[in-house]
Each structure stands twice: as C-alpha cells, then as structure tokens.
Structure 1
Amino acid sequence: MSLQNKTILVTGASKGIGRALALLLADKGVNLSLVARSEAELITLKSEIEDKGAKAEIFVGSVGDEVFVKACITSTIEIFGKIDALVNNAGFGIFKQASEISTQEWDSIYETNVKGTFLFCREAIPFMKSAGKGHIINIASDVAKRVFDGGSLYCSSKYAQDAFSMALRKEVRKDGIKVSVVYSGLVDTYFHTREEGDPYQAKYLTSQNMADTITYILEAPKHVVIDELMIHPMSQDY
C-alpha cells in the first residue's frame, strides 16, 4: 500500500528509531507530525524532511502530559485533515534492583512507556473511527515477553504496554483500525549506556533496520494486519 500523502504521527521522533523512521517516511511522501522533548533536534529534523519535499509539524513536550497529547492530535487534524497512522515509539529504561527503584523512577517510566501510549491511542482513535480506518503501531520490546534480573521496572512497563495493545486490537478491529506491536531486541541507539555507533554495538540492529521494519508493517495491504512482529540481531540469543 502506498504511503504517499498519508498523515503519520511519530512519538520519540528526535533521535534513534523515531528519527530514522521519520526520514524514511518523508522519502515516501508522508505528511508527518513529530513528537519529542528536544526542540532543537526536532527543528533540525523538520528542516531535513522539508528538504526532501515532504511536510512536517513538530510538537515539543512529554507524551505523558494529557493536555499536550490532546493538542498534538487536534493540531495534526487541523493541519493535515486526518491521521492515518500513529507510531508510539517514545520510551526509555531504568535498570536496577527493585529494592533500589525510587517512586519517581517508577512513575517516570510508566508515564512514558505506558501512559503515553494510552493517551495518544485514546485521542487518535475517535478520528480513525470516523474515517473507518487507521493504523496504530506500538514499539515495545522483546522484554514484553520475557524478564531479566534488574529489569523489573522496564519489563513490567513493556508487559503493560503489550497487554494494553492486545486488548485494544480486539476493541478496534471492527472499526477498521489495525493495531500492530513490534518487539525489538538490541538496537544500536542512544537507549544504551554506550553512544550510538559504539563498536561494542556493531552487531546490534540499527535504527534503519527498525525504520524499514515499521514501514513494512505500514505498507501492508488494506486487508492485511501484522499483529505482532519480533525482530532480533543474529548476535542476540533470545
């Protein structure tokens, strides 16, 4: 399915997977709404997208802020007239023993990884229902299916995001709305303690690998929905 002139909102768009996805979608003629906390990085990305001849609007704020999320969706509709797809990519991790996790750390992870996904879905769905179509892609992690020592906070947030996505899929399928979840393994991004491009991460997935995968899901024919997609580098033993 061609993505030309589609309107797609991407959260966590300023770097890593979100940035690579935005640039790839721009090459395909997509109108983009881009959400992140970093204004400077979003301004640079918007300029690069416009140099490609595509259109982009940027929104700076927290995905866990209900007022901000409502404004993002409303403005996207006002500017582009529709929202064809939503990619909930924003997320981060804190890894430590449960006994060492602060309440603030717990809340901050859940606000971004779970609440942010919920808020953007909730606000976008009514417009998708009115259109009789739409596509939501939630970028989870392989730890939505497994756990590890030191991962109680991050793993539980991804389990919650996944459970929400699975239930949501059953709710909106009858309305013509697709819900897909991508479970990624190790990706060479800023997410890790090492910088992107560090030789230690040379065998990880790249942001471009992830962007290609997400775009593949978006381009599936209208009658096809890729409910779940698990992706790993060959170097990672799941």
Structure 2
Amino acid sequence: MTDLTNQVAIVTGASRGIGRAVALLLALQGAKVVAVSRSQDELAELTLKTKGVSVIADVADDDDARYVVEETLRHFGRVDILVCNAGVGSFNLLEQVNAAEWDRIFNTNVKGTFLLCKAVVPHFKAQQSGHIVGIASDVAKRTFVHGSAYGASKFAQDALLATLRKEVRRHGIKVSTIYPGLVDTYFNDTTPGSAEAEKTHLRPGDVAQAVRYVLEAPPHVVIDELMLHPLTQDY
C-alpha cells in the first residue's frame, strides 16, 4: 500500500462537506494538506485541525489556480496529490436555466478542474509521480430531469479526467475519478444531518474513505474509476 505520510495534498472545496472530510482524513493519515476554498473563516478553522496550510482561491480563475500550486511549492517544496472536489450545482428545467447559472456551474465543475490540473501536471511530470483524484458524480454516467446544467458539467469533467489519464500515465502519474451518489452535505442549499438523509444519503466521510482507498493503492495499481452510492439508491 502507498503510505500517505508526508505526502503533500491539495484539496479544493475544502471548507465544508466532502472536501473538509477529505482534508481531515488525509491529515489523519499523515499527509500535509493544502486546503483550498473561497471561504476564509471556515478554512481557518479547518487548518487548525489539519495543521496544514489554507489558500483562499477561486478555482475557476487561472491566476488563482496557479497561485494555489505556487503556494504549495513555497510551503512544502513539492506536490504529490491533487483532489479536485470543488463543485456547485442547481437543478431546473432546461428552459429555466439562465446563461449566468450555466456558466457558474461549468466554471467551477469543469474549468476549475481543468485549471488546477493544468497548473499541477508540469510538476508531476518533473518528478515522474503524482495522483489526481476528481470528485465527479454518479450523474456523470446517467441523466435525470432538472439536471441538464449540472449533469452536462459532470459529463464534461469526467471526459476531461479520462483524457488526462491517457495523456499522463506514461509519466508515472495516476488519475482517478470517484462518482458519488447522493451525499448528505450543504450542496444545493440543503442542510445536512436530517433524519431522512441519514437513511438515504452517503456521508462525506464515505467519500473521503474512497479517496483514501484510491490514494493508498500500491504504486503499480491504478484505480481509474470508483462508483460510490448508498444502498437505498436503485439504478
């Protein structure tokens, strides 16, 4: 198994939900965590727990994406792991989705993944190692009513990561994609912890454990894709 001790991990969307759970679990395994979000107050509290570094950044901004990697290198001298978790969504009939909302979803979910990967891949190539983990969604593999914008963004993110996987594998770089089903988080303006969600949703910690699983796979093993959904979901 791959030892995560002292591995330097960038985690985007780290202020709450899945990203927070991933950051905490990786820190518990001994990784040096760089937590990235636009929420300064929540990141500050998280960094106290992970004993890592926080970077306030918008992943959809080219300069910010490069800054995240530069700050990581300044603090730790290397990058070993990138977890692309930052994501947003809204759900409506296609004719009720406005252009600004479409752009907001694609900017975070697709452009954000693209920019962080673009910023980190040259460093991974230079060291001939590195692991990118994309947190996609089970809707990257299926469609549903009211999901045109969010689903299209996750299909696009999935295609981006699958293509990158083929481009970088010969450089010793792994790219894994995780497809969670419903997760009990603040996503889509919901408040986690309801009795109903306890029965029907994954927990953020479940997704964090999946991230740990793919990262700890032996060096010669590549876990390209991992589907994760609660027992109550019937596909």
TM-score higher than 0.5: yes
Which amino acid in 2 is paired with 1:6? Q
Structural mapping, 1:156-235, within 5 Å: 156-203=152-199, 204-235=201-232
* Separation in 2, partners of 1:223, 1:104: 43
Structural mapping, 1:9-88, within 5 Å: 9-50=10-51, 56-88=52-84
What is the match of residue 53 of structure 1?
A: none
Q: Deviations over 1:2-22 (max 9, x none)?
A: 100000000000001111111
What is the match of residue 8 of structure 2?
A: 7
Q: Deviations over 1:113-136 (max 9, x none)?
A: 000000000000000000001100
* Separation in 2, partners of 1:194, 1:180: 28
- Equivalences, count: 233
TM-superposed deviation, 1:61: 2.2
* Separation in 1, partners of 2:135, 2:37: 15
What is the match of residue 104 of structure 1?
A: 100
> How well do the aligned residues superpose, as a CA RMSD in angstroms?
0.8
So what's the TM-score if we normalise by structure 1? 0.96
Q: Which runs of 4+ in 1 moved over 2 A?
A: none
* Separation in 2, partners of 1:193, 1:19: 17
State whether residues 88 and 188 of structure 2, in contact with CA within 8 Å, keep that contact through their aligned partners in structure 1: no
* Separation in 1, partners of 2:115, 2:15: 19
What is the match of residue 114 of structure 2?
A: 118
* Separation in 2, partners of 1:7, 1:61: 18
TM-superposed deviation, 1:48: 1.4
TM-superposed deviation, 1:236: 0.8
State whether residues 11 and 19 of structure 2, in contact with CA within 8 Å, keep that contact through their aligned partners in structure 1: yes
Which amino acid in 2 is paired with 1:3? L
TM-superposed deviation, 1:28: 1.2
* Separation in 1, partners of 2:188, 2:107: 20
Which amino acid in 2 is paired with 1:76? T
So what's the TM-score if we normalise by structure 2? 0.97
What is the match of residue 153 of structure 1?
A: 149
Question: Structure 2 regions of 5+ residues with no counterpart?
Answer: none
